[in-house]
């Protein structure tokens, strides 16, 4: 057996310590699969003394991760610190400059700086790999960039944030509203103390930016991804959607439309019987639609120490075997800036709260008609007579912009008692 | 851009012609992903004149696929002829001997000769790749051998034959029995005129043998895989299973149990709400359970020209990039013969047809108890009084051998009106 692959671990939190444990526990099967052993040669973290459940005393210690990245005795640096800038960025840049391969789970870093880092890796002739950055343990980066590489991709979409899916699933299951379910998710460790990255859709959008790059050869360019979170989803909408045969999911969708690439994270209604509709709890799922393969679904745990370590070590095994393709599947110089186009028309779910008097529905229907939005189904559930009447509408496929203009007309009418709510129905 | 990867296509049926079409249609995106163009340099088929919907006049023609495999101007031979022996085997052997990489979709060939061919490929320093041999377009070979390579796999299982899943799904949906649904599947092109490879479980078992090799480092050794088909599944069992909250699926399961590896294809009951339970129609799905990643599901089209070509060309792109790991993920010399162990105990579904007289159930319960099989649930659906009574039993986890002994006792009793039926309930 040849020389071991020498790994430097920058960061020894949940992810870094998980990688160290995996390399120790499964060393016997990793060596034959990688063609050589994979050894932790050096580590860096903020607190040297902390017990991490794995003995790293044989590895050299560096206080400074950038110094670790520059060490001459390493082949690969695993960046496991997190953050879109600061030490994580400096460490990855230093490692690439020094001619070290880099493996990272850091979706924020790559969503912002992926194109530049991919170019730096190519210039240095080393690999930049990030299987763990999207959907945790699910090998979707490899699946998309290698397994389905022969296909012209039409659309890639999925449930990319387990926290949001847990909250939406739990609201539907228990009939409780957003706030108490979020509090429970925090208590269970499924949501951070500051949940805004998750529930605001940012984390999912980071991952979507990377999927879009892999699928369509565009720069991640996070700033131009459209993002909405789940805080606007009410229990009422989940219940109404259910009655109509839909589930509400926070969906990341990247779709090619001519030269444009639509990239959006937003709450959507999806058919209850679809693979995405049936996805409960913290599981992630990604669906890829290719011209030759048709539709492939990848499902599994989207977060956690074990799944993240599984993905990082898979990248290390690839590197040990000599894999060295470009980070986003095509040369970095060919990554085009994504062109945003008009959203593909879609059916929409609309919930209105109207004063319950004769003629109200006619006024609404007229507003929709004026903007060219046609109604596929309308339903006014029976109500106790107190407060306004809830009116549910499913539109035929329409442009969101036209629907928004129509709903602005509706909102301006005296008959309208609350801001209209509208969600896209994504055909999954 | 460097020299094109020069491919020889041995076989121009559905699969071979599909590969040629894909290489033509998506040439613009394959070249940047592969780092160089992929070109068809030579072809071989039985009928030179046939119109295959793709112009291959620029490629050299060989009447004999073995001669094609020996040509000096090719880098890779794609074996798309089929058959576990004969010309397919001779062609692959010739290509490897000549130092050509080989890509094949031929599950039968590899299930029988995979270990020897993997050794020949290693000796020649070339790749032997077979993504298309398992679950068609779904990149499960790569997912298992690379994406999840860091994991100790406990179990890999799935629905591996679309024809069987279509038939079982359609029986459940339409309430029609096996024979007419099979006839319809044949009319629709989902089943062969001679369906025995599919409905007998052989095709699924070929694929399972390959999955077990990748997951557990054992030889494919097809002869020792346990195989049952779906012809024993009656409409009554599907309906009873449904009432109990289960679906009947033809499941391939490979499981590590100490040093032993269980490998079996058989009809099983699975929870209706599970990913496998919800899988309808011709779709394939494979579930991998690893110690660090947890559970990952891969789903997609298991057959057809497009999906198969997608998988074959993915292998070609990998080869063009220089990938050259061992065929089954570890060196061929380390592939161990699979050791068969006792099946893990499982709950079972049992259907009995009994003479409807006092004491009958007591006799049956005694027989099960004598063999140590304990009853979790027993149900005798109301019946019109004509013929025998149907008795449904769900056992607690038990050894199949013990259950079979108990059912032999039951069958020998005068009260028993028909051969007992039993299916394993797989915990998915």
**Computed over its alpha carbons, how large is the radius of gyration of chain A?**
24
Q: Which of B255, B251, B225, B224 is nearest to B156 (CA)?
A: B255
pLDDT beyond 80 at B384: no
pLDDT beyond 70 at B386: no
CB spacing of B25 vs A291 below 8 angstroms: yes
**A307 vs chain B: nearest CA distance in angstroms?**
4
Q: Which of B284, B241, B295, B255 is nearest to B425 (CA)?
A: B241
Return the pLDDT at A217: 96
Cα separation, B33 vs A331, whole angstroms: 8
Binding-site residues of A for L-homoserine, please?
Answer: 192
With cut-offs at 50, 70 and 90, classify the pLDDT of residue B1: low
pLDDT beyond 80 at B265: yes
User: Residue by residue, what is the 3-state secondary structure of B192-253?
Assistant: CCCCHHHHCCHHHHHHHHHHHHHHHCECCCHHHCEECCCCCCCHHHHHHHHHCCEEEEEEEE
Q: What is the dihedral of CA A406, A408, A413, A417, to 10 degrees?
A: 110
Region B118-123: mean pLDDT is 98
Binding-site residues of B for NADPH, please?
Answer: 107
- A219 in active site: no
The string of pLDDT tens digits covering residues B144-187 is 999 999 999 999 999 999 999 999 999 999 999 999 999 999 99
DSSP bridge pairs for A246: A271
With cut-offs at 50, 70 and 90, classify the pLDDT of residue B139: very high
CB proximity list for B426: less than 8 A, separation 6 or greater: B157, B251, B253, B268, B269, B270, B346
Chain A CB within 8 Å of residue B139 CB:
yes
Three-state DSSP at A416 gives strand
pLDDT beyond 90 at B323: no
The string of pLDDT tens digits covering residues B352-377 is 999 988 888 899 999 999 999 999 99
- Element containing residue A351 per DSSP (H, E): strand A348-354
Region B6-33: mean pLDDT is 97
The string of pLDDT tens digits covering residues A1-16 is 589 999 999 999 999 9
Which domains does chain A carry?
Answer: 5-133 (3.40.50.720), 140-301 (3.30.360.10), 348-425 (3.30.70.260)
What are the φ and ψ backbone dihedral angles of B161, each rounded to 5 degrees? -135, 110
**Residue B374 half-sphere exposure toward CB, CA atoms < 13 A:** 4
CB proximity list for B408: less than 8 A, separation 6 or greater: none
Return the pLDDT at A384: 64
Chain A to chain B, count of Cβ pairs less than 8 Å apart? 192
Return the pLDDT at A151: 98
Name which of B15, B146, B295 to mutate to probe chain A: the one with the most chain A Cβ atoms within 10 A of its Cβ.
Answer: B146
The string of pLDDT tens digits covering residues B266-314 is 999 999 989 899 998 889 999 999 999 999 999 999 999 999 999 999 9
Cα separation, B357 vs B414, whole angstroms: 11
Q: What are the Cα distances from residue A18, in Å, to A63, A150, A193, A402, B53?
A: 20, 34, 22, 49, 52
Give the A window 26-55 contacts with B, CB below 8 Å. Answer: 26, 29-30, 32-35
Return the pLDDT at A416: 94
**A319 contacts on B by Cβ (under 8 Å):** none
Give the B window 222-241 contacts with A, CB below 8 Å. Answer: none
DSSP bridge pairs for B421: B351
Q: What are the Cα distances from residue B381, in Å, to B240, B351, B384, B388, B411?
A: 9, 11, 10, 11, 20
Dihedral sign, CA of A235, A236, A238, A243? positive
Q: Which of B196, B260, B249, B253 is nearest to B226 (CA)?
A: B253
Binding-site residues of B for NADP(+), please?
Answer: 10-17
* Token pair 């005798």 in the structure block, residue: B380
Dihedral sign, CA of A59, A65, A67, A68? positive
Residue A301 CA from chain centroid, whole number: 12
Return the pLDDT at A193: 82
Return the pLDDT at B410: 96
Chain A CB within 8 Å of residue B313 CB:
yes
Return the pLDDT at B385: 59
pLDDT-flagged residues of chain A (< 70): 1, 384-386
What single-letter DSSP state applies at residue B1? -
Of A18, A32, A307, the CB nearest to B334: A32
DSSP bridge pairs for A350: A393, A422
Cα separation, A399 vs A185, whole angstroms: 35
Chain B CB within 8 Å of residue A139 CB:
yes
Of A25, A298, A334, the CB nearest to B32: A334
Region B81-99: mean pLDDT is 96
Region B218-228: mean pLDDT is 96
Percent of chain B with pLDDT over 70: 99
Region B117-139: mean pLDDT is 97
Return the pLDDT at A252: 98
Residue A242 CA from chain centroid, whole number: 24
Whether residue B151 contacts residue A26, with contact meaning beta carbons closer than 8 Å, is answered with yes
What single-letter DSSP state applies at residue A218? B
Using CB atoms within 10 Å of the CB of residue A357, give its burial: 0 to 12 exposed, 13 to 18 middle, 19+ buried: exposed
Chain B CB within 8 Å of residue A137 CB:
yes
Three-state DSSP at B261 gives strand
Return the pLDDT at B343: 75
CB spacing of B299 vs A294 below 8 angstroms: no
**A330 vs chain B: nearest CA distance in angstroms?**
5
Name which of A296, A319, A328, A329 to mutate to probe chain B: the one with the most chain B Cβ atoms within 10 A of its Cβ.
Answer: A296
ipTM of the complex: 0.95
pLDDT beyond 70 at B252: yes
CB proximity list for A376: less than 8 A, separation 6 or greater: A347, A394, A395, A396
Q: Which of B70, B6, B17, B71 is nearest to B45 (CA)?
A: B17
Give the B window 266-285 contacts with A, CB below 8 Å. Answer: 275, 278
């Amino acid at each position: 057996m040849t020389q071991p692959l020498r790994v430097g671990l920058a960061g020894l939190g949940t992810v870094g310590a998980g990688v160290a444990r995996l390399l120790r526990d499964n060393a016997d099967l990793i060596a034959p699969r990688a063609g050589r052993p994979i050894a932790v040669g050096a580590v860096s973290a903020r607190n040297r003394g902390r017990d991490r459940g794995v003995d790293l005393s044989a590895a050299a210690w560096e206080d400074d991760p950038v110094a670790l990245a520059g060490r001459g005795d390493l082949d690969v640096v695993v960046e496991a610190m997190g953050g879109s800038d600061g030490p994580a960025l400096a460490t990855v840049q230093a490692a690439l400059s020094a001619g070290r391969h880099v493996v990272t789970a850091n979706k924020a870093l790559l969503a912002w700086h992926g194109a530049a880092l991919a170019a730096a890796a190519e210039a240095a002739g080393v690999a930049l790999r990030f299987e763990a950055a999207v959907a945790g343990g699910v090998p979707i980066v490899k699946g998309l960039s290698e397994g389905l590489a022969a296909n012209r991709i039409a659309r890639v979409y999925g449930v990319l944030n387990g926290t949001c899916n847990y909250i939406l699933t739990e609201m539907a299951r228990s009939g409780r509203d957003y706030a108490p379910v979020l509090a429970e998710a925090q208590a269970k460790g499924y949501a951070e103390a500051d949940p805004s990255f998750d529930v605001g859709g940012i984390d999912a959008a980071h991952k979507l930016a990377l999927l879009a790059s892999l699928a369509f050869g565009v720069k991640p360019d996070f700033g131009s991804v459209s993002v909405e979170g789940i805080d606007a989803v009410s229990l009422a909408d989940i219940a109404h959607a259910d009655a109509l045969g839909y589930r509400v999911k926070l969906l990341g969708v990247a779709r090619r439309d001519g030269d444009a690439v639509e990239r959006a994270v937003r709450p959507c209604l999806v058919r209850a019987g679809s693979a995405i509709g049936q996805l409960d709890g913290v599981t992630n799922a990604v669906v890829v639609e290719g011209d030759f393969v048709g539709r492939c679904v990848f499902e599994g745990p989207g977060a956690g120490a074990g799944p993240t370590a599984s993905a990082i070590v898979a990248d290390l095994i690839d590197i040990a075997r000599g894999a060295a393709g470009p980070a986003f599947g095509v040369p970095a110089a060919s990554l085009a800036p994504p062109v945003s186009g008009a959203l593909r028309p879609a059916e929409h779910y609309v919930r209105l709260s109207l004063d319950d008097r004769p003629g109200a529905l006619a006024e609404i229907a007229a507003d929709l008609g004026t903007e060219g939005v046609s109604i596929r189904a309308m339903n006014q559930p029976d109500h106790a007579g107190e407060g306004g009447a809830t009116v549910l509408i499913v539109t035929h496929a329409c442009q969101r912009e036209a629907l928004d203009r129509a709903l602005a007309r509706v909102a301006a009418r005296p008959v309208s008692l609350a801001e209209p709510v509208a969600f896209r129905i994504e055909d999954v």
